[in-house]
Structure 1
């Protein structure tokens, strides 16, 4: 890798939002590409203008509205005093019809109720349906939990998780529901999703990579979701886990984004300051290559090894490109005056 490569190493390909909800199938044109941390807009607004006109062929190609959903579900509402079913645990015919009803897009009635944000019907369906139905994935591999998270419905997320909905299922982009929450800053959904999950059971979920090799922590860092970076650290996320394409840790990603807040958060919680990518570049290589003296200084103060070399046999100093602010961070033990580096003296004199 040349010094120019390290200096200009791009962020991961396609760091824009992959919400897990394919708007094309709702008749909405895709939005322009956005950079990490951009305002993605509210998910609810993306749905509101199109969902009422959506056609579901499983229901005779008629538009499914909140009213029609009510008609489908109303006979299945649980009685406050259910009849004993010791001899007949089977579901009623209408309940079985609801269980087996799938639209062309693979959505169950529960998917549709969540899309329409009908809280009452959604809660009734969650009570009626067994756990296996709660985890049905539509044609985009979205579970009801994915949709509830995308639409920022923490109460629905809570009910689904309490009923046993899986946290590990991945949508067409490889995102779990927790990935979606971290991508869009849905802290309440993330909280409800993990509230009653032990750290040992949550650990495998936090290590799941989407199809771009990103864990939840990587997505939170890429999208400058500082509150979620903090949340994930408290939940035991591995701060040094590498993404799958180039081996960057969350600290590498924060440095690339010039995100001082995330850099400080990660370093304060013990992220490895000398973690290396697959090409050997450390966070300091990236900071110097991007001429970011402030973050390079912070990394040096945290103990970054200035002599580490990448696969191109370059140290971070080799990438400084004559930047005096950055050169002043690197002492030269063999060129000193009165115990102070010549570069340091030169820098101080000019300042």
Structure 2
């Protein structure tokens, strides 16, 4: 047991007096670690003892992980250590030596906490968070979305660095959750983890934290434009199948609980077939209705085309042709202007097409009318 772990008030006070009066000039790392731990939050001299202990012990992170008050020494280690792997090992050892893991809560059947969190906060939680953020910063380029960096690494090496960054953030989220629960800082670190991995699935993540994060991630405060649940909100279509084999994912569980799951491929195909059949029946019914209206009164059926061309039923074929030529002349620029992408050119093209299409539809009516009148005269 280190000096800093002595619990008796009189012993601690006596040690403070001794250290203040005589100091310690020895080189035993275990004693130096103890002095640092004992005075860590009270004396600038403490950090010197801690640094000496760390250096004389050959950078023994096992001993650092056992400290009750590691923050100041860990901050020093972060500043002077080039090897990111060393920081990752220190963070992991601090985490597993702490009581943070024993206070996990999780997803019960109703999503509430099944284990209360201790009001006592671990002194190493801040160090765990700082180490995680430092590792994340150093490995920022190790990202599945960064294809160029991925090409520059051997895949095995890249995977190792990716897992180091992922685990560092995961542990940092749990430590920050331990300190501040569903605070903005916890959600911020969780957001970094989500951006890296594509999911907020972390074993030990409180439901309250997950719920707050997912509502923010999906922007649930914004009303839906059509009242429907977007597929992007729902759990993966095949998540239930994976869950049968133990593939539990906390984010997918949350999505399933609130929005259900997306449709499977065969369900989409079946829906498409049903819709296609329904659409074919609707198209057939519309076509039959169009034929009926065309037969009953073709002039009424093509009334919109007649109106576009400025024609009436009473006109002769010759009069209708003259009106059509006048209308076409308005859009002559559509036929003699070189192709370009201007809005004016596009508009004139569309208008000319509409006029030509309308005349093709109604010219037959005037021809039939003229033929009928001629046969009556004879």
The normalised TM-score by structure 2 is: 0.35
The normalised TM-score by structure 1 is: 0.37
| Relative contact order higher in (CA < 8 Å, ≥ 6 apart) | 1
Greater fraction of residues in helix: 2
